[in-house]
Each structure stands twice: as C-alpha cells, then as structure tokens.
Amino acid sequence: MNWSSRERKRRRMQYTYTAGAPATYPPLPKIVTVKSKLSSAKTQIPIRYSAHEYSNNNDNININDDEDDGRKFALPYHVKNITSTSNPFVKHCLKLRQSSSYRHSHGSALVVGTTPIREIYNFNRSLQERTVRMDCLLLLDKVEVPEGLDNISTHTVRVSSVVMKKLSGVQSSESIEAIALMKIPTSVFSIDVNQKEADCRSWFPSIHRILVLDGIQDPGNLGTLLRTAMAFKWGGVFLLPGCCDPFNEKALRASRGACFQLPIVSGSWYHLEVLKDEFQMKLLAGHAGGNEEPRPVLQLSQELVDSFAGVPLCLVMGSEGRGLSEESQRVCELVTIPMQGEFESLNVSVAGGIFLYMLQPKTQKFI
C-alpha cells in the first residue's frame, strides 16, 4: 500500500494519545513492517498505539521481530488490562524471555512466579540504595493480589489466562499468578574481552568469597549455583566465557531471582587474574579427582577449609561435559570432594553446593 502524505498524516492523528493520557508516560513509536503492493520492498513507518490497541487484538499489526531497532519499549501507564497474545507488549515480553541479545539490548528481563518476585522485592527493600527496578507487574485476571506483592508500588496490569500461559513458558500455568518485568541491575555487567584496563575494585562490594563459573552452559545448573551462592552469602559471581545467560528463563527459574541480588561480572581469564592479583586472592577449582592427575589434588576437609578462613578466594567450577578448562587446571589449586561410593563425579550444582557451604564466610556457623 503506497500511502500519500495526507493519508500518513491522517493515520498519525488517528493513533495519537488523548489529552487525558499521563504526560510522564508518552508512547514510543514502534517500527512496523508494511508490505507494499507496488513492490516487494518493506516500508517502515512509526505508529503510536492507542490504549484500545494495547488492550485488544492486534492481528493487523506485523511487528518486525527479525530486527531490533534499539528503541526502548514502554507500556502506557493507563493500560490496565491485556487479553490478547498478539498485543505488542506481550510480543515484547515474549521476546525478552526467549532472546538473550534482546534482553540485554533492552536491559530488562521477565521474572515468572510470585515467590521469586517477592524475594527480589524483599531483598531490594532491605537495601539502603535500591538496585532493582520493577517496570510492570502482570497479574492473572480475577485473582487476588498474592501475599507480599500487595504493597508493591508499580504499574500493575491484569492479563488473561491465555496471555499468562504464553508469557510464563511453562506447561501448566495454573499456579502462575504473577510475572514481573524488571530492569537488569547495574551490578550485572560484562567487560569487553579487549579491555585491558579495568577497575576491578568496583566489581564486587565484598571479595572475600567469589564464585567463578567456567563454561557452565546448562541454565538449570547455573541458576542453582547462583541461588546457593546467595544462600551462603558469597560476595558475587564471575562468569568466564562459555557460560549461559543468568537471565535465561530456566536459569532464572532455578536461581529464584538470585541473579537480581548477586553482583555478576562476565569477563575473560585476563580480567579474573587482574582481580586475583589486586586482592591477593587464592584460586581453588573443584575437581573430579582421579589417579592419573599429574598435579596433586587436595581433598576437601574441615582442616583445609580452616586454613583458608582469613584468605580471600575464588572458587572455580567447570562445565558439566568437559569439566575444568585447561587454563583453570593450570592456574588453580585443585580440590576434590572425597566420596565413599564408586561414582566418578557429582553433578556440578551438587558439587558446587558442597564447596560453597564448606567454604562460606567464617561468620556463618557450620551445622
């Protein structure tokens, strides 16, 4: 369709907001792809959606999902209900859940479920300086506000069961009553691989105990390790290359939102060694053990743990398939968990849990 300038002007007037819309939440133009009848080329035009369009079916709107134009998507504040899965905001949230690059380009992630939302909210309230911002809370239509979320001051939108099931990504969404759209905190960031000058003193508020993940690709294992590190009050997490996104939907589910509470830095071995040298940290690596190791492998014990009580250290855990990288094996002191059984090794999240518990800060009491 080849629109004249008069027609485009008429359509802009049709989709602009009324005077009653809050000025603090202006609608953002969204790039829409329109196929021209005169040629096969795609024409992009900005359209401002009305409140009616946000709340109802938008099958006539074809958002170009193949490209991210870098614009920040904002839901108008006066929208209180969404019933259709073809709604532009629903499509935006769905892409946040499914695409790592889209998440980080928008600086937002979806948190599914009342419990992780409540835990993140309570953690944020306990801080002097709030680090997590909730942009929107989606609640299942016709259910009571879940306990612990009734005092949250944010834009709340009721959604249909169809929308909730679409966004939650779980087979049975009957137990899912809330989804939150949250900003990724500034305590989570990546260091450019080519960046040689880095202020490592600003990475972690406490460097006494740092968990280092070396190529952990399984989101369930990564999320469980983050949750365990948070439970035992480790100071933060350093992600070496090859790790999955901690805001991956499965990692988020396993971590119960710990990625919003822990400082997480992604970098290279060069940056980790800068951190080690700056704070004189010891590097330990969890190892499966074996008789063919050319280097001595220490056994995890209370005596060994006590010798590290006042020493700042990094604990490196390797990937599920290939274990520790060559660099980790070369640089770190290797430590294994003694086992009476005949299994060769433990799952990385199970082994990591044992290490994180045994090596937790000395202020924590052992059972």
Q: Are 267 and 294 in contact (CB under 8 A)?
A: no
Q: What is the pLDDT of residue 293?
A: 63
Q: What residue segments make up the domains of the chain, in order of their start?
A: 52-183, 188-358
User: Over the chain (367 residues), what is each successive 10-residue block's mean pLDDT?
Assistant: 47 35 32 36 35 34 38 75 92 93 93 90 76 87 82 87 89 78 92 82 93 95 96 96 94 92 94 94 87 77 92 93 88 90 81 95 55
CATH class, 52-183 region: alpha beta
Say if residues 194 and 267 touch (Cβ distance below 8 Å).
no
Question: What local confidence, expressed as pLDDT, does residue 252 receive?
Answer: 92
The DSSP-derived string for 84-151 is -TTSHHHHHHHHHHH-HHHHHHHTEEEEESHHHHHHHHHHHHTSSS----EEEEEEETTSPPPTTSTT
Equal CATH topology for 52-183 and 188-358: no
pLDDT tens, 58-96?
Answer: 322 233 444 444 445 678 888 889 999 999 999 999 999
- Per-residue pLDDT, 41: 39
Q: What is the pLDDT of residue 23?
A: 30
Taking the C-alpha atoms of residue 313 and residue 137, their distance in angstroms, rounded to an integer, is 39
Residue 342: how many other CB atoms lie within 10 Å: 5
- pLDDT computed for residue 130 by the predictor: 66
Question: 1, 39 in Cβ contact below 8 A?
Answer: no
Task: Tally the C-alpha atoms within 13 A of residue 329's C-alpha that lie toward its C-beta.
Answer: 15
Q: What whole-number distance in Å separates Cα of residue 331 and Cα of residue 83?
A: 55
> Whole-angstrom Cα distance, residue 309 to residue 146?
42
Kindly report the CATH class assigned to 188-358: alpha beta
Beta strands in 160-293 (DSSP E): 178-183, 188-190, 209-214, 236-239, 264-266, 282-286
Q: What is the pTM of this model?
A: 0.76
pLDDT at position 363, please?
59
At residue 12, the pLDDT reads 42
Distance of CA 19 to CAs 14, 22, 23, 80, 81, Å?
13, 8, 9, 18, 20
What 184-189 contacts at long range (C-beta under 8 Å, 24+ apart), as own/partner pairs, is 184/103, 184/104, 184/107, 184/108, 184/109, 184/247, 184/260, 185/131, 185/132, 185/260, 186/131, 187/131, 187/236, 187/262, 187/263, 187/264, 188/246, 188/259, 188/263, 188/264, 188/265, 189/264, 189/265, 189/266
Quote the pLDDT of residue 294.
67
The confidence score (pLDDT) of residue 172 equals: 64
Q: Which two tokens stand for residue 59?
A: 């099958």
Dmax over CA atoms of the chain, in Å, equals: 81
